[in-house]
Amino acid sequence: MKRILFITAILIGSHFAKAQDGWLKFPISKKDSVNAQPVKLNYSAKKGKVTLHQDARLEKLNDFVRSGEESVEGVKIDGYRIVIFFDQDKSTVSQQKANFLARYNDHRAYVDYVAPNYRVRVGNFRTRLEAERLKADLISFFPTAVVVKDKIQLPRLP
């Protein structure tokens, strides 16, 4: 008996719920659109002037965020890089990049910012195996080195 009452209550409730959805429909009904006025555009009006008042600190903030980026040249493809170091202090990250380049000057190093850390990524490897080979050499100097998928620059041809 309880089941029958429960099912009946559900059916009656769903009927009333269905009756309530008419007010959400778009466009509005014809009786509501009788009083609506069409919008007229005036194309012969004089042109306006926009003055932008911008805080000078916004440019400095933009320069700060973009300061870690290096110029991107050429086409980028899917590949691998090694993240050798990350920290919140940009000067520490720059020192680690210099340490890497002093030991391995034949590879490129990139510093980028992923909130809240700066990170040093090295190499342009087409396969994970090539990246793992260099990582095996780096692990003694940079114990937190990790191979990651990334968009890389096309390797230079000899």
pLDDT value of position 33 = 56
pLDDT tens digits along 15-61: 666 555 555 555 555 555 556 667 777 888 888 888 888 888 888 88
The structural architecture, per CATH, of the domain 76-153 is 2-Layer Sandwich (3.30)
pTM: 0.53
Q: What are phi and psi of 98, to 5 degrees?
A: -65, -40
Convert the pLDDT of each residue in 111-144 to its tens digit.
Answer: 999 889 999 999 999 999 999 999 999 999 999 9
> 58-109: per-residue pLDDT in tens?
888 877 776 655 545 566 788 999 999 999 999 999 999 999 999 988 889 9
Q: What angle do CA 126, 127, 131 make, to 5 degrees?
A: 100
What are the sequence ranges of the domains in the chain? 76-153
